[in-house]
Structure 1
Amino acid sequence: MKEPLPALRLYRSVGQPRAAVLLLHGGRADALEPPPALNLPLARMRPFVRAIGRATAGRPVALGRVRYGHRGWNGERADAARDARLAMDELATLAGAVPTVLVGHSMGARAALHAAGHPQVKAVVGLAPWCPPEDPVDHLAGRTVVLLHGDRDRITDPAQTWAFAARARAAGADVRELPMPGGDHAMLRGAADWHAHTTRLVLELLGTAS
């Protein structure tokens, strides 16, 4: 495989992958500067990378993340969504048209849901997602969308997540809702459950994609 391009960071590549998992960390609503070197939202995703990496070891599954050019979503610019789509294009250049599962947290989940119209995206797992009521859903038809949200989240609104799920289902998506009782936005309460559920879902979705 060729060297990764700017919006894509591969943790593990294989000669000819048959599927891929990309992770997307959170960010801010508005911030035009690049993500800092010491990036807490990125650090929150590392346990998920390790768990998914162990679970898919020895399988022809590429594992990576989306690299953002900016720290924030930035209104109509939707910078994180643009970077997610670029990363999908770069993955296609590197690995071919492999079915891909996107796993995003907070802003990263919003970016993953926006990028789910890409022909390679088969499923999205959204962790404590940011799902404003104005976000589109028609492009999710035929995709699998799994949304996990805790009832102690004070950053993104679980009620908006479940409303988004209903809209996406009506648009033709295969939607699953997984409430995380006691879960907070940082996914620190019951962290092991967040990691285990996400890894199980990714394995299931990779099997469906393959």
Structure 2
Amino acid sequence: MVLLLPDGEPESERRASALSYAAVLPLGRALARAGRAEGLVVHWVRYRSRGWNGPDARLAADASWAVEEVVRRYGDVPVCLAGHGMGGRAALHAAGHPAVNSVLALAPWLPEDDVAAPPEPVEQLVGRHVLIVHGTNDRTTDPELSYRLAERAKKSNRDTCRFEVHSDGHALRQYQEEVLALAADFVRGSLFTRTYARPVADALAAPPPLGLRMPLAAGFGRALRA
């Protein structure tokens, strides 16, 4: 099972944006197509509202509720939380549920470092396969923040890696084909214990900073099909 977590906003009580759901549609289709033969099911998480809303962490709470629903409806199946932007942050936060096998965070929105606030948690990522993908030209959320989080996570969870998409922005549209191919390879490898593509395996095995600043090569998806 893959649960898709769309982008959101730091503070808002408004209903979730239809545009945010449309933005993750290509990811959902790519993952469903890649895992269809192995029984992969993809669902969207419908947020109560689009805001993270400080300590309420509402998007993460909605993600946790969705995992509980998966367990209730489908039983003991491994779950991958796949999110973009604020949805990426929600995926990372909700990873502590026992059913969660892996986390895919695309351009995750993370708060700026604040000495007065506790750092983003990483202990819930232990025992999960974690892939973070971030464009180096992201103007919405600083890619350096996702690197720092990955660096902390890697200390206690070796199955953590991070890819950089050079010159791409927050939406990761410039190299969308490569990003979707990378996501599909990671999800299939994590949920179905298949062999990862060599770049993913190398990134997981490499120590920081190499495995956390792995460049996503142009033509990644085409190379896998060749």
Task: Answer yes or no: same fold by TM over 0.5.
Answer: yes
Alpha-carbon distance between aligned partners in 1 of 2:6 and 2:190, rounded to the nearest angstrom: 20
Q: What residue number does 1:101 align with?
A: 80
Please state how far the C-alpha of 1:35 moved relative to its aligned partner.
1.3
Q: What residue number does 2:219 align with?
A: none
Deviations 1:2-50 (A, max 9, x none): xxxxxxxxxxxxxxxxxx11111101111112114xx211111111111
Q: Is the 8 A contact 1:53 1:63 kept in 2?
A: yes
The residue identity in structure 2 corresponding to 1:32 is: E
Alpha-carbon distance between aligned partners in 2 of 1:111 and 1:137, rounded to the nearest angstrom: 12
Percent identity for Structure 1 against Structure 2: 39
Q: Does 1:136 align with 2:115?
A: no
Alpha-carbon distance between aligned partners in 1 of 2:105 and 2:169, rounded to the nearest angstrom: 14
Q: What residue number does 2:2 align with?
A: 21
Alignment root-mean-square deviation, CA: 1.4
Q: Does 1:63 align with 2:48?
A: no
The residue identity in structure 2 corresponding to 1:176 is: C
1:35 corresponds, among 12, 16, 26, to 16
Q: Is the 8 A contact 2:2 2:82 kept in 1?
A: yes
1:175-186 correspondence to structure 2 within 5 Å = 175-186=160-171
Identify unmatched segments of 5+ residues in structure 1.
1-19
Please state how far the C-alpha of 1:194 moved relative to its aligned partner.
1.6
Alpha-carbon distance between aligned partners in 1 of 2:125 and 2:97, rounded to the nearest angstrom: 10
The residue identity in structure 1 corresponding to 2:12 is: A
Deviations 1:147-179 (A, max 9, x none): 100101000111000000011112335211111
Alpha-carbon distance between aligned partners in 1 of 2:185 and 2:37, rounded to the nearest angstrom: 17
Q: What residue number does 1:165 align with?
A: 150
In terms of fraction of residues, the more helix-rich structure is 2
Q: Is the 8 A contact 1:143 1:173 kept in 2?
A: no
Aligned residues: 188
Alpha-carbon distance between aligned partners in 1 of 2:110 and 2:151, rounded to the nearest angstrom: 12
Q: What residue number does 1:145 align with?
A: 130
TM-score between the two structures when normalised by the length of structure 2: 0.79
Alpha-carbon distance between aligned partners in 2 of 1:30 and 1:128, rounded to the nearest angstrom: 18
Please state how far the C-alpha of 1:99 moved relative to its aligned partner.
0.8
Alpha-carbon distance between aligned partners in 1 of 2:186 and 2:85, rounded to the nearest angstrom: 18
Q: What residue number does 2:203 align with?
A: none
Q: Does 1:50 align with 2:29?
A: yes
The residue identity in structure 2 corresponding to 1:108 is: G
Alpha-carbon distance between aligned partners in 2 of 1:92 and 1:28, rounded to the nearest angstrom: 28
Alpha-carbon distance between aligned partners in 1 of 2:15 and 2:96, rounded to the nearest angstrom: 26
Alpha-carbon distance between aligned partners in 2 of 1:100 and 1:149, rounded to the nearest angstrom: 22
Alpha carbons of structure 1 residues 172 and 200: separation in structure 2 relative to 1, 3 Å? closer
Deviations 1:40-89 (A, max 9, x none): 11111111111111111232222112110011111111110000000000
Larger RCO (CA within 8 A; separation ≥ 6): 1
Alpha-carbon distance between aligned partners in 2 of 1:207 and 1:35, rounded to the nearest angstrom: 31
In terms of fraction of residues, the more strand-rich structure is 1
Alpha carbons of structure 1 residues 168 and 116: separation in structure 2 relative to 1, 3 Å? same
Q: What residue number does 2:62 align with?
A: 83
